[in-house]
Chain A
Amino acid sequence: MRADRYPIFVTAILALSHPLPELAASDPADDRAAGEQLVAQACRGDEGAFERLYRTHVGRVHALTLRLTDDARHAEELTQDVFVRAWERLASFRGESAFGTWLHRLAVNVVLGDRRSAWRRVRRVTPAGDLLELEAEVRSVAPGLRLDLDTAIAGLPPGARTVFVLHDIEGYDHGEIAVLTGIAVGTSKAQLFRARRLLREALDR
């Protein structure tokens, strides 16, 4: 088999995104039992049960979308998308992990998928040189102005922010982040190192 027999389209297809593995459960057992009952009801089409699941989990999901997007309005749209997607995929939830863990993983995928789409849209209309500048941008802060941590995180470049939020706040390891984001483990480590350095500089001002 020769490599030159495979056109670029085939190579592109092979690189397309693929379903991601579930993470280990982390929710307490009693939450899981209560959640399982609601999930079972929601799977049968009970919107009331699903609304209760939404009320239980919206704060955690929204904290994630907000920190990953740095745009309150867009984060709210994404939070809604997460729950609509969860409703669509309830049948695929097999209870191997806690519902909250499954939902959280889904939320990460929704946000990163949205970012990939946005990135592709930008690439269609933005010259490559400008893209590098976009990635390298770190929002400037007035000298002497002290930041809280969330504000400083919001000021990180997208790649560094994603890795920092997933690793240092959400507890994913570099291997999991590599799977979720499609970057190499080494890149994830480098982005984390960079994020921490930038945060230290911003917060030390």
Chain B
Amino acid sequence: MTCSEVHDCLEAYLDRSLDRAQRAGVDAHLTTCADCRAACETASWLRQRTAALPRQVAPSRDLWDGIAPRLARRQRRYAIPLSGLVAAALLLVASSATITLWLTRSSSPAVSAFASTEAGYLSATLELTELYARARETMTPETRAVLERNLEVIERALGEARAALRSDPADRALEAIVATAYRRKIEFLERATLLDRDG
């Protein structure tokens, strides 16, 4: 057995879960390799000590007092009237349909499948952009600036990927990159709308 192989099965060796042949192999290596023997002894020695560590540690104060107000604030922040939701939904359906129509008419049959996919991504980003704009109003200027910078990077990446795909619409790898860039933008917007660092 090599040192690397011994290191890989060290935990199982200490757990006594190796089969007889493997265990014999580790034992043989340990008798001849001082470094691995030291590593094994140290791992075993630390195991006994970590087992005695408390798995729970109470904070020095009741943290709930700082949590509860943040929960209530979040509920208020995202309380959108039903009429607003209905209007937003109608707008999304209309914009999604328009975008899909535009994309599919301006593309060849070979790329229309991706155009439809892209329309879905666009629809999702439209919805999230609206929510992000709402959340943005309550952020501190510093937080807002950081998010804007990050969003700009994502937008530029997406723009460059889409430009590359326009120049070579049949390239499936480029389609995958555009889709990934959309997903990153969607994920970013989702996270940004849930940010609650503004105290």
Q: Which of A's residues lie within 8 Å of B, judged by CB?
A: 1, 5-7, 9-10, 12-14, 16, 18-19, 45, 47, 50-51, 54-55, 58-60, 62-63, 66, 72, 75-76, 79-80, 83-84, 87-88, 149-150, 168-169, 189, 193, 196-197, 199-200, 203
Which of A13, A18, A200 has the most chain B CB atoms closer than 10 A to its own CB? A13
**Selected contact of A14 from candidates B56, B153, B177, CB within 8 Å:** B177
Does any Cβ of A come within 8 Å of B39's Cβ?
A: yes
What residues make up the interface of B, taking CB atoms closer than 8 Å to A? 7-8, 39, 42-43, 45-47, 49-50, 52-61, 63-64, 66-68, 70-72, 74-75, 153-154, 156-158, 160-161, 164, 171, 173-174, 177, 180-181, 184, 187-188, 194, 196
- Known interface pairs A9-B153, A54-B64; A84-B53 also in contact (CB < 8 Å): no
* Interface contact A196-B160, CB-CB below 8 Å: no
B58 contacts A59, CB within 8 Å? yes
Please indicate the chain A residues that have their CB under 8 angstroms from the CB of B74 in the complex.
Answer: 84, 87-88
Q: In the bound complex, do residue B181 and residue A10 qualify as a contact, i.e. CB atoms below 8 Å apart?
A: yes
Taking CB as reference atom, which chain A residue is nearest B180?
A14
Given known pairs A47-B71, A50-B71, the reply for A149 and B53 (CB within 8 Å) is: yes
Least Cβ–Cβ distance between B44 and chain A, in angstroms = 10
Chain A residues, Cβ within 8 Å of B154: 13
**Chain A residues, Cβ within 8 Å of B188:** 16
CA distance A93 to B105 in the complex (A): 41
Query: Quick one: which of A13, A19, A51, A197 contacts B64, CB cutoff 8 A?
Result: A51
A7-B160 in contact given A60-B55, A149-B49 (Cβ < 8 Å) = yes
- Docked-complex contact A79 and B59, CB < 8 angstroms: yes
Chain B, residue nearest A13 (CB)? B157
The residue from A10, A60, A72, A168 contacting B60, defined by CB atoms under 8 A apart? A72
